Amino acid sequence: MKRILLLTTGGTIASVQGEDGLTPGITDKDLVGYLPEYKEELLLHSVILMNIDSTNMQPEYWVEIAQTIYNKYNEYDGFVITHGTDTLGYTSAALSYMLQDLAKPVIVTGSMVPISFEETDAKKNMMDAIRFACEKVCGVYAVFDGKVISGTRVVKVRSKSYNAFMSINSPYIAHIEGSEVYYLENIPVNESNVVKLDTSMCSNVFVLKLFPGITPEVFDYIKQSYRGVVIESYGNGGIPFKKRNLLQKIHELIEAGIAVVITTQCLEEGTDLQRYEVGRKLSKKLIISSGNMNTEAIVTKLMWVLGKTNDLDQVKKRMETPIANDLQIQENNSLVL
């Protein structure tokens, strides 16, 4: 008999209609009460950690979730976390870094429609998540709309549809139909039962999306206020260097000890700083290339890395080292380590 722990955090899945719209309002026991009878033998326990709209999710809450899983790790065979969809990708990525050497599944799920509504995706998503938590797999995954996604590859691409999430720059792990799991990728199995908890985080990071006309002075504020910045550049990693030249300001950030990560505004395929002149001008400095990571993983990984070191060489090395399938090293370009 599989022992599964359900951790609830609120979100749409646990929402009810209030005077000002949907708001989280039902408990972990309520959620379980809406589920159909289990078709397979399992023992499901539940704990309510928080009951918030995921817009209000914070790094301190990631620590609480990770700490709870760590404390209960030896008591259960798998873990399911119900979560709001808006920041689900950030939470699944953060847990992928905080919980190292997992030998059991940690599954994050949610819904686009509350579980109490007649037409809802919540029951299917929860049952699929519980089903996958019974598998002999290790690591953090999101289960949504019948698809299984690596925790560091989860991106919300739709705001209303049931198929709200995609696996970006990485294949889907599996899909679930009823009680059957059909694997699309081989998943390594970790036989060790010694999970490592590492929740040191520095949330003092900034995400800057470039646009035509952005002024260099914004970097002066970043230099005074943050320890790291993620720059969502153009295309393969292009940064403007004519008229409004941003390169000098970026170099000043690095000289001031600020970690600078370059990613792209493009959803697919990642960066290649060696392809164009505008990228090569950057790569000569201690710039951190994000490769084909998504912003959700980049932000949480940078917080996690900065929680351990201020040494920019070490920050660059750790950020550019794959963890939990967050980064694929590309041949014949600047990402080869």
Task: Supply the residues annotated as catalytic.
Answer: 12
Structure tokens given for 92: 């699944």
> Taking the CA of residue 160 as centre, how many other CA atoms within 13 Å lie in the half-sphere pointing to its CB?
0
What is the separation of C-alpha 292 from the centre of its chain, rounded to a whole number of angstroms? 14
What's the rounded Cα separation, in Å, for the pair 156 and 159?
Answer: 8
Strand positions, DSSP E, the chain: 2-10, 15-18, 21-24, 42-52, 78-82, 99-100, 105-109, 139-144, 147-150, 154-156, 165-167, 174-177, 180-183, 196-197, 205-209, 228-233, 259-264, 288-289
Length of the chain equals: 337
117 closest CA partner among 6, 10, 8, 13:
13
**DSSP, res 38:** P
Structure tokens given for 151: 């925790």
The b/e string for 128-157 (b: 16+ C-beta within 10 A; e otherwise) is bbbbbbbbebbbbbbbbbbbbbbbbbbbbe
What's the rounded Cα separation, in Å, for the pair 260 and 252?
Answer: 11
77 closest CA partner among 100, 102, 52:
102
